[in-house]
């Protein structure tokens, strides 16, 4: 094998993992979410920036408020998932850079003084972190159902502020009956990889 990671772990994280559309009613605990974050916080980003913010939607009242902003096809699964997380990008992430990137504390002002630059960087790096988060959910033996079918501005106003940009909503839990579609095709190596 060319990969060091155990084949069973490869299957858990990628080959056998599917986006879930239904879930059992088994709760997702705070300890599980902490373990997921404590693993995925080590994923690489530019300048070690950490723009991802995760809002856990646990209360029935908050869940009801969120469901109203979801696309119609996403409402039932969001209403019934054991845990729902709103992933967003903090556009003021640069304030933490002196502590997070001590090798070059001046990066905060040298590269990220202007808001449009921060927003572009936050969008890219929080998307990386969101992918790590989904893989972390799988590492916990859970399934993730990431969705971008929702009213972004409505979710921002309801749960965030002007400094945070919603990325996706992720349903989390153990897969329920008929939780996923059959595996869809993937592009072949030759379709994606080129050598120059």
pLDDT tens for each residue of 60-86: 999 999 999 999 999 999 999 999 999
Q: Is 52 within 8 Å of 130 (Cβ atoms)?
A: yes
Taking only the tens place, the pLDDT of each residue in 156-172 is 999 999 999 999 999 99
Q: Give CA 178 to chain center in angstroms.
A: 23
Query: Where along the chain do its domains lie?
Result: 7-174
Which pTM was predicted? Answer: 0.95
pLDDT of residue 47: 97
- Whole-angstrom distance, CA of residue 84 vs CA of residue 170: 6
CATH of 7-174, one of 2.30.30.190, 3.10.450.50, 3.40.50.300, 3.40.109.10: 3.40.109.10
CA torsion sign for 11, 14, 19, 24 is positive
Distance CA 88, CA 27 (A): 23
């Amino acid at each position: 094998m060319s990969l060091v990671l155990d084949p069973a772990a490869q299957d858990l994280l990628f080959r056998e993992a599917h986006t879930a559309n239904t879930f059992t009613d088994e709760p997702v605990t705070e300890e599980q979410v902490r373990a997921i974050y404590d693993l995925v916080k080590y994923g690489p980003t530019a300048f070690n920036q950490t723009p991802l913010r995760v809002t856990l939607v646990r209360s029935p009242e908050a869940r009801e408020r969120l469901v109203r902003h979801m696309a119609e096809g996403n409402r039932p699964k969001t209403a019934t998932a054991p845990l729902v997380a709103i992933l967003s990008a903090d556009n003021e992430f640069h304030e933490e850079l002196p502590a997070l990137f001590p090798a070059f504390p001046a990066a905060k002002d040298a590269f990220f003084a202007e808001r449009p630059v921060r927003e572009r960087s936050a969008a890219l790096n929080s998307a990386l972190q969101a992918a790590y988060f989904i893989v972390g959910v799988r590492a916990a033996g859970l399934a993730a159902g990431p969705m971008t079918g929702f009213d972004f501005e409505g979710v921002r106003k309801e749960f965030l502020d002007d400094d945070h940009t919603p990325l996706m909503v992720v349903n989390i839990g153990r897969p329920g009956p008929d939780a996923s579609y059959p595996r869809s095709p993937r592009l072949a190596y030759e379709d994606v990889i080129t050598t120059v």
